[in-house]
Structure 1
């Protein structure tokens, strides 16, 4: 069995309850988005000097997303493509938040992060099982891929 299948199966073991699954469909993407926002909030003069001054996508979040995508490529190239598209969507949403200018990006991201984690832990309380990342930190990256693999299955795309 491929490593991605093992990881998705192991992750799925603690995500059987319908309520917990529903919460994960909402909270996992929000956590991913909020982390991208928090990383994008780090001053990025060094990145902009390489990728272009004034480029709104030249920030540390883009650099970290490339590294995360390399991890996904080692697990599944098709899933890594879906995760790349989701990462680009997150970068776009981050720019919308910045342009809205109703609060600093780091603050919006921190609120989303906190609220989404409260939801996650509530889902696991309902499930009666601990979050997978407490056993293995890589499950923080498997959660989004687990959701993506359901989208792939629904569309009939092999992962």
Structure 2
């Protein structure tokens, strides 16, 4: 596994190399949020107290991952990713409040559905998911989706330009002639 503490640009370019087909990127806009939500749902029931404040493992994972995103050298991307994951975590904590069967159905169902979207996308890509070669890709995925949303809005153009310089522009892979 490569270094966990590389800059956002290096992480995003490496991840982008596995995600150049636009259909793959589109599936990640559904799959990755579902997976983040699902993990938070499942962790939300692991409660503990910090000082006098009750919390849970979902909040702890969100806080630690947010710190990581914020320290990758691209503050806007890190803050946006932390905020997006924070919204998903808050929704997940609310979803985890029901009975055990509902909690598991939501958590496991969302997790499985998220991975279905991921693997469909990688069919279009014709390439395995990035985390297979580097587990850090599991953390980079949410940052990549947020980055792609920022690029669509015309933000972080310098970051996009450097990623495309390193790994090329997005495309639609011809499935008839792979």
Q: Does structure 1 conserve the Cα–Cα contact (< 8 Å) formed by 2:41 and 2:96?
A: no
Q: 2:155 aligns to what?
A: 156
Q: Does structure 2 conserve the Cα–Cα contact (< 8 Å) formed by 1:94 and 1:105?
A: no
The answer to whether structure 1 residue 30 and structure 2 residue 34 are counterparts is yes
Q: 2:62 aligns to what?
A: 65
Residues of 2 paired with 1:92 and 1:70: CA distance? 17
Higher share of residues assigned strand:
2
Higher share of residues assigned helix:
1
Counterpart secondary structure, 1:91? helix
Q: How many residues align?
A: 151
Residues of 1 paired with 2:126 and 2:52: CA distance? 48
Q: 1:50 and 1:80, CA in 2 relative to 1: closer, same or farther beyond 3 A? A: farther
TM-score after normalising by structure 1: 0.82
Residues of 2 paired with 1:111 and 1:67: CA distance? 25
Q: Which moved more, 1:90-99 or 1:69-78?
A: 90-99
**Structure 2 unaligned spans of 5+:** 1-5, 160-178
| Offset, 1:108 | 0.7
| Offset, 1:103 | 4.5
Q: 2:80 aligns to what?
A: 82
Residues of 2 paired with 1:101 and 1:83: CA distance? 30
The answer to whether structure 1 residue 13 and structure 2 residue 12 are counterparts is no
Q: 1:113 aligns to what?
A: 111
TM-score after normalising by structure 2: 0.74
Q: Which moved more, 1:111-120 or 1:73-82?
A: 73-82
CA RMSD of superposed structures (Å): 2.3
**Structure 1 unaligned spans of 5+:** 53-57
Q: 1:50 aligns to what?
A: 52
Residues of 2 paired with 1:16 and 1:112: CA distance? 25
Deviations 1:74-103 (A, max 9, x none): 213222211221122113212442456694
